Amino acid sequence: MTERVAIILAAGVSSRMNTELAKVLHEVCGRPMLAYVLDACREVGVEKIYVVVGYGADQVKERFADDLDIVWVQQDKQLGTGHAVLCCKEHLADFDGQTLVLCGDGPLIRAGTLTILLEKHKTEHAAVTLATAVLDDPTGYGRIVRDLYGNIQGIVEDSDCTREQRSIKEVNPSYYLFSNKILFEALEQVKPDNVKGEYYLTDALSFIIATGHKVVAVTAVRPEEAMGVNSRMQLSTASKIMQKRIQQELMEHGVTIVDPDNTWIDARAKIGRDTVIEPFTYIHGKVKIGQSCRIGPFAYLRHGTVLEDDVVLGVFTEVKNSTLADSVRARHHSYIGDATVGRNVNIGAGSITANFDGEKVNRTTIGDNCYIGSGSILIAPLELKDGSHVSAGTVVSQESVDKLGQKEQTSVSK
């Protein structure tokens, strides 16, 4: 089998984003853009990924410190996409396999499309296989220039287009599979003679075509997959598209989402079959929801929430870093933070865990079959035994529970 590596370009300064943060760290549905590109590479079996970093390099490396398949490559000056790839020369100059090149600012890429690209490359015995997409508004993208017979002649960047070329709607989504040696030979030829004065990867492609190598394209790429994120507007558009994908997948797995337009679910969330998500629910971070739960309307689930089966969370219920066992109910206006709640517990309207004492965050543990009356404040750290009964309107501290002694400990009231 041919060996294959990937290069992901992620060094650019993002002037259009107007940000201190490295562009590829901006999040789409809770995950940095780069994470999606990395996953797409992994899904098609790439085991070694060279990520070129420059602007905000330390931030990026720190965020992905656990990803051991990444080889970090530094590009000190951002002289263009061609130069960025050339920075990998010390690692790849002698590599005789295939190199997938992708941009870190293209989170909507799908592994399925990459698979088509890889297969086409193989069956056509190509030197380069690229993807192309047809956009209603191709502004900003490199245009695919073809000859009268439809053969690709090259890619011309938006800022270098003639008026005629600017009207071309077939664009370069910027993912390619190269025969590695041909790629690096061509990159040596690239000169920065263009409007931006940059070394373009797309010029390397024109060289490869000019030298008579076979370059083919996968033309059926969906417009959304071609989208590069260069501005905050595009970031929000990409997030919307990703959100739709996340919800579609959940629905295919048996989750009911009553109003997809008014629901937001993090890419890291997992939701079980026959759970119903009511409108205006916001799920952020790593959240796990079991089967047959009913969530919302207006629920807010945050990082570290684990709901087992048959849990009911209603309006204005917020849960953070907590585990709620089977059949817990918190139907109205509650805050449950840093808590472990046992099976079949009823949390009355307006009850909260007071988990922060001004200095540190403390845990609350509620046993099975407890009843927490409306408007109760559970001051953490606190442990309530199985079957405890807290009357409505009670402020409960560990001290007050301990004072009740062994006998009455299951019934706490004012």
H or E stretch covering 406? helix 405-408
Phi-psi region of 303 (alpha: psi -120 to 50; beta: other; left: phi over 0): beta
- Half-sphere exposure (CA, 13 Å, Cβ side) for 183? 34
And the tokens for 332? 């109205």
Whose CB is nearest to Ca ion? Answer: 228
Does residue number 105 form part of the binding site for Ca ion (CB under 5 A)? yes
The site partner of 376 among ligand UD1, Ca ion, none (C-beta below 5 to 8 Å per kind) is: none
Closest C-alpha to 102, from 38, 192, 163: 38
Contact 156, 144 (CB under 8 A): no
H or E stretch covering 179? strand 176-179
Task: Give min distance, CB of 309 to Ca ion, in A.
Answer: 44
Of 73-81, 120-128, 263-271, 399-407, the window that binds ligand UD1 (rule: CB under 6 A) is: 73-81
Provide the H-helix boundaries in 173-323.
Answer: 180-189, 201-210, 232-252
The site partner of 264 among Ca ion, ligand UD1, none (C-beta below 5 to 8 Å per kind) is: none
Of 226-234, 255-263, 311-319, 383-391, the window that binds Ca ion (rule: CB under 5 A) is: 226-234
Give the 3-state secondary structure of residue 89. helix
Crossing angle for the helix pair 111-123 and 33-43, to the nearest 10 degrees: 40
Does residue number 10 form part of the binding site for ligand UD1 (CB under 6 A)? yes
Binding mask 15-54 for ligand UD1 (x = CB under 6 A): --------x----------------------------x--
- 55 phi and psi angles, rounded to 5 deg: -65, 125
Q: Which is nearer to ligand UD1, 9 or 313 (CB)?
A: 9
Does residue number 83 form part of the binding site for ligand UD1 (CB under 6 A)? yes
Contact 184, 93 (CB under 8 A): yes
Task: Give min distance, CB of 73 to ligand UD1, in A.
Answer: 9
Q: Which is nearer to ligand UD1, 86 or 382 (CB)?
A: 86
Alpha carbons 229 and 105: distance in angstroms, whole number: 5
Does residue number 225 form part of the binding site for Ca ion (CB under 5 A)? no
Q: 159 to 188, contacts with Ca ion by CB under 5 A?
A: none
Closest C-alpha to 104, from 128, 126, 78: 78
The site partner of 290 among Ca ion, ligand UD1, none (C-beta below 5 to 8 Å per kind) is: none
Binding mask 61-100 for Ca ion (x = CB under 5 A): ----------------------------------------
Closest C-alpha to 240, from 261, 218, 209, 268: 261
Please select the residue that binds Ca ion; options are 80, 228, 272, 367, rule is CB under 5 A: 228
Does residue number 104 form part of the binding site for ligand UD1 (CB under 6 A)? yes
H or E stretch covering 402? helix 398-403
Does residue number 131 form part of the binding site for ligand UD1 (CB under 6 A)? no
Please select the residue that binds ligand UD1; options are 7, 35, 51, 84, rule is CB under 6 A: 84
Q: 191 to 230, contacts with ligand UD1 by CB under 6 A?
A: 200-202, 228, 230
Contact 153, 92 (CB under 8 A): no
Contact 207, 128 (CB under 8 A): no
Q: Which is nearer to ligand UD1, 75 or 275 (CB)?
A: 75
Give the 3-state secondary structure of residue 70. strand
- 284 phi and psi angles, rounded to 5 deg: -125, 125
Q: Which is nearer to ligand UD1, 157 or 310 (CB)?
A: 157
DSSP letter at 299 equals -
Does residue number 138 form part of the binding site for ligand UD1 (CB under 6 A)? no
Of 77-85, 260-268, 298-306, 372-380, the window that binds ligand UD1 (rule: CB under 6 A) is: 77-85
Task: Give min distance, CB of 19 to Ca ion, in A.
Answer: 14
Alpha carbons 304 and 299: distance in angstroms, whole number: 15
Residues that bind Ca ion (CB under 5 A): 105, 228, 230
Residues that bind ligand UD1 (CB under 6 A): 9-12, 23, 52, 75, 78-81, 83-84, 103-106, 141-142, 155, 157, 171-174, 200-202, 228, 230
